[in-house]
């Protein structure tokens, strides 16, 4: 087990790239060293695959610390709170022996509810865009955050007053039906249907609701260690990602205290997760993308299929240009390198070290509109051609595998502290 972090420390685990880096695996691993684990942004549009003693899980909304006894898990105000998805997830993992109750899960009363009309609008808009789609998972995320910034959402705390809640829903529905019917030609949403959904799913939230500012403030005073868990990666951030092919929230570590509920908290550790090769789910520029047989081989070796959608991830070699940028945006203090074992069959391992652009060769990540014209500049490093999944110390790794890690570390300018060599919880190396 890891050396205990300083009492009262605040840390974040975030993605350096397009998401799908293996953050859930790292949170599940590190959560045992923390007292509180917080999801601070995003919704059920992405998943974290976790493998532990209970089994294999694809989490979408639940913090990955939910598997650790004694850990308090929090869904912050920055989360897109789909109650149906959350409780379906809770009911599913309960069948495998994982208990979730108000004792180990708290939901911010300031979190906004993602309602059925959000995922309907998401689907309708992607259909309207046709071949210009953004690659939405159709979980209602973009319409939800749009409504949030228009101040037209229901806060979870409103569930405590059903009479007032019904009137608020009716007011929103009058406005929302204008979009459904006039813009998309879809049928009106009915108040009774929406309220039935709220009664069935959202009302189950009430025992879990709390002021997370108070919860986190008390945890900090008590010297508790707090871990913030992000969804997706830096290149999907609404402000700093590959616009417009981003998510609709801030995926960067700097947003963690805000989306958790206590903006005054300060991070003292940021672990950015980087996969040993590149993967991407969804549309948008992906400069180092592979196609054909070599892509299929890497995808199958790594099991690269979305935890939420099941759709094949786009794959390619490690992109150091994008990774350096992601680490800068995340303010990373250390790196967790995942899925090293997937590369074990390769004679040579390609790495993207720069981009060729109309303006010339660059090692800096371009402005989003310029990415389509960028081409990868690759080099090849020697492979290690041996099974490393049983390695548990740095010296046990083959020389070529150590050289690969050291090359990445030097290229990105950030210490690689963890090297993951398998899906199992214990399959990692600490440097």
Per-residue pLDDT at 387? 95
Catalytic residues: 20, 48
Per-residue pLDDT at 126? 75
Per-residue pLDDT at 418? 97
Q: What is the mean pLDDT of each run of 10 residues along the chain (431 residues)?
A: 57 94 82 92 76 78 88 96 95 90 97 91 74 65 92 97 96 91 88 96 98 96 95 94 93 97 95 96 91 94 77 94 98 96 96 96 97 97 95 96 97 96 89 92
**Residue 313, annotated as binding a ligand:** yes
Is position 90 within any domain? yes
Per-residue pLDDT at 134? 58
* Same domain membership, residue 423 and residue 320: yes
**Residue 339, annotated as binding a ligand:** yes
Is position 5 within any domain? no
Per-residue pLDDT at 276? 97
* Same domain membership, residue 326 and residue 232: no
* Same domain membership, residue 294 and residue 413: yes
**Residue 307, annotated as binding a ligand:** yes
Is position 4 within any domain? no
Per-residue pLDDT at 1? 39
**Residue 194, annotated as binding a ligand:** no
- Tally of domains within the chain: 3
Range of the domain at 320: 273-430
HEC assignment per residue over the chain: CCCCCCCCCEEEEEECCCCCCCHHHHHHHHHHHCCEEEECCECCCCCEEEEECCEEEEECCCCHHHHCCCCEEEECCCEEECHHHHHHHHHHHHCCCCCCCCCCEEEECCCEECCHHHHHHHHHHHHHHHHHCCCCCCCCHHHHHHHHHCCCCCEHHHHHCHHHHHHHHHHHHHHHHHHHHHHCCCCCCCHHHHHHHHHHCHHHHHHHEECHHHHHHHHHHCCCCEEEEEEEEHHHCCCCCCCCCCCCCCCCHHHHHHHHCCCCCCCCEEEEEEECCEEECCCCCCCCCCCHHHHHHHHHHHCCECCCCCCECEEECEEHHHHHHHHHHHCCCEEEEECHHHHCCCCEEEEEEEEEECCEEECCCCCHHHHHHCEEEEEEEECCCCCCCCCCCHHHCCHHHHHHHHHHHHHHCCCEEEEECCCCCCCEEEC
Per-residue pLDDT at 54? 77
Per-residue pLDDT at 242? 96
**Residue 204, annotated as binding a ligand:** no
**Residue 48, annotated as binding a ligand:** yes
* Same domain membership, residue 338 and residue 265: no
* Same domain membership, residue 306 and residue 424: yes
**Residue 316, annotated as binding a ligand:** no
* Same domain membership, residue 254 and residue 172: no
Name residues whose C-beta falls within 8 Å of residue 67's C-beta, 6 or more positions apart in sequence.
28, 31, 50, 52, 54, 57, 98
* Same domain membership, residue 405 and residue 323: yes
* Same domain membership, residue 335 and residue 310: yes
Task: Quote the pTM value.
Answer: 0.90
Which CATH number characterizes residue 346's domain? 3.90.170.10
**Residue 138, annotated as binding a ligand:** no
**Residue 422, annotated as binding a ligand:** yes
* Same domain membership, residue 345 and residue 267: no
């Amino acid at each position: 087990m890891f050396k205990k972090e300083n009492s009262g420390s605040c840390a974040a685990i975030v993605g350096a790239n397009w998401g799908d880096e293996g953050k859930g695996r790292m949170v599940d691993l590190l959560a045992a060293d923390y007292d509180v684990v917080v999801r601070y942004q995003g919704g059920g549009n992405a998943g974290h695959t976790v493998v532990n003693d209970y089994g294999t899980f694809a989490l979408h909304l639940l913090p990955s610390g939910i598997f650790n006894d004694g850990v308090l898990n929090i869904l912050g105000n920055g989360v897109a709170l789909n109650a149906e998805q959350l409780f379906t997830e809770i009911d599913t993992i309960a069948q495998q022996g994982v208990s979730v109750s108000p004792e180990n899960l708290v939901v911010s009363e300031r979190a906004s509810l993602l309602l059925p009309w959000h995922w309907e609008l998401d689907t309708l808009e992607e259909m309207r865009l046709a071949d210009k789609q953004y690659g939405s998972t159709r979980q209602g995320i973009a319409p939800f955050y749009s409504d949030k910034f228009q101040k037209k959402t229901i806060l979870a705390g409103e569930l405590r007053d059903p009479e007032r809640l019904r009137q608020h829903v009716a007011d929103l529905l009058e406005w929302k039906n204008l979009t459904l019917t006039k813009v998309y030609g879809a049928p009106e949403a009915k108040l009774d249907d929406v309220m039935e959904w709220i009664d069935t799913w959202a009302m189950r939230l009430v025992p879990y609701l709390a002021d997370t500012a108070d919860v986190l403030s008390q945890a900090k005073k008590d010297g508790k260690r707090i871990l913030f868990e992000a969804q997706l990666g830096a290149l999907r951030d609404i402000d700093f990602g590959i616009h417009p092919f981003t998510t609709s929230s801030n995926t960067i570590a700097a947003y963690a205290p805000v989306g958790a509920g206590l903006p005054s908290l300060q991070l003292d550790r940021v672990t950015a997760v980087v996969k040993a090769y590149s993967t991407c789910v969804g549309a948008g520029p992906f400069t180092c993308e592979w196609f054909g047989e070599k892509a299929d081989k890497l995808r199958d070796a790594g099991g690269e299929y979305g935890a939420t959608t099941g759709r094949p991830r786009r794959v390619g070699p490690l992109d150091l240009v994008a990774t350096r940028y992601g680490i800068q945006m995340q303010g990373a203090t250390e790196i967790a390198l995942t899925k090293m074992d997937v590369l074990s069959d390769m004679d040579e391992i390609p790495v993207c070290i720069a981009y060729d652009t109309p303006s010339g060769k660059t090692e800096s990540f371009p402005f989003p509109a310029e990415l389509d014209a960028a081409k990868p500049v690759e080099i090849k490093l020697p492979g290690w051609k041996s099974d490393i999944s049983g390695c548990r110390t740095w010296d046990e790794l083959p020389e070529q595998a150590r050289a690969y890690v050291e090359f990445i570390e030097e290229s990105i300018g950030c210490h690689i502290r963890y090297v993951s060599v398998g899906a199992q919880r214990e399959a990692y190396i600490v440097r």
